Amino acid sequence: MTNNKALLVIDVQNDFCPGGALAVAGGDSIVPFVNHAITNAGQASELVILSQDWHPANHSSFASQHEGQGPFSTVTMPYGPQTLWPDHCVQGSAGAAFHPNLLSDTAQLILRKGTNPALDSYSAFFENDHQTTTGLHGYLQAHQVGAVALVGLATDYCVAYSALDAARLGYEVTVDLRGCRAIDLDGSLASQLSAMKQAGITLIGDA
Ligand code: VGL
Ligand code: ZN
């Protein structure tokens, strides 16, 4: 039986909000919507899972760790191409904390990802080698979850990677774009929206 549902709230952290190290335009404006989704999920006895981007200070996705490379350039890592970012969501920093207004107390699980300095993790299910698991699939299976709904930051990176992995793993997937905002680097938003539609993911609202 896999008739339970889970709400996955992806990376609603200060560094992805205006004023943060990797600010997403309007990132903080989703918080009231996300809080409603959290409250509604709790009332419907659905699981609420929050993910948190949680990098060591020397993380290899940081441009600062690559001599001569600036943020938003791309390097080739052993596991494939990797976009380089400004230092962000460093473990224990104020930027890595959840947005102060996020209703984080009722979540059953807080999943931290991106902790291996050698490997980035956009998806809440698999790291960027597409092999190393975070354990989320096992957790959801243990709780008989068959459907997941996603909101959070950023639409075209961690939300889309998580949603696409969830669809590949056989979950029924909904992304509520009213609770998401995008980075939109080199057309990434358009291409990820179309990839999600192709994968049979239900998109609610406008990006
Ligand atoms: C994210 C880039 C780098 C995200 C995390 O949460 O979408 N994007 N790390
Ligand atoms: Zn990151």
Residue of 8, 13, 22 best suited for mutating to test ligand 1, as the one with most atoms within 8 Å of CB: 22
Domains of the chain: 4-56+89-204 (3.40.50.850)
6 lines ligand 1 (CB under 6 A): no
Catalytic residue among 15, 158, 165, 180: 158
Ligand 1 atom at minimal distance to the Cα of residue 11:
6
* pLDDT for res 111: 98
* pLDDT for res 107: 98
Ligand 1 centroid to Cα of residue 22, in Å, is: 8
* pLDDT for res 157: 98
3-state secondary structure the chain: CCCEEEEEEECCEHHHCCCCCCCCCCHHHHHHHHHHHHHHHHHCCCEEEEEEECECCCCCCEHHHCCCCCCCCEEEECCEEEECECCCCECCCCCCCECCCCCCCCCCEEEEECCCCCCCCCCCCECCCCCCECCHHHHHHHCCEEEEEEEEECHHHHHHHHHHHHHHCCCEEEEEEEEEECCCCCCHHHHHHHHHHHCCCEEECCC
* pLDDT for res 159: 98
* pLDDT for res 192: 98
**pLDDT-flagged residues of the chain (< 70):** none
* pLDDT for res 2: 85
* pLDDT for res 152: 98
Catalytic residue among 17, 87, 113, 165: 113
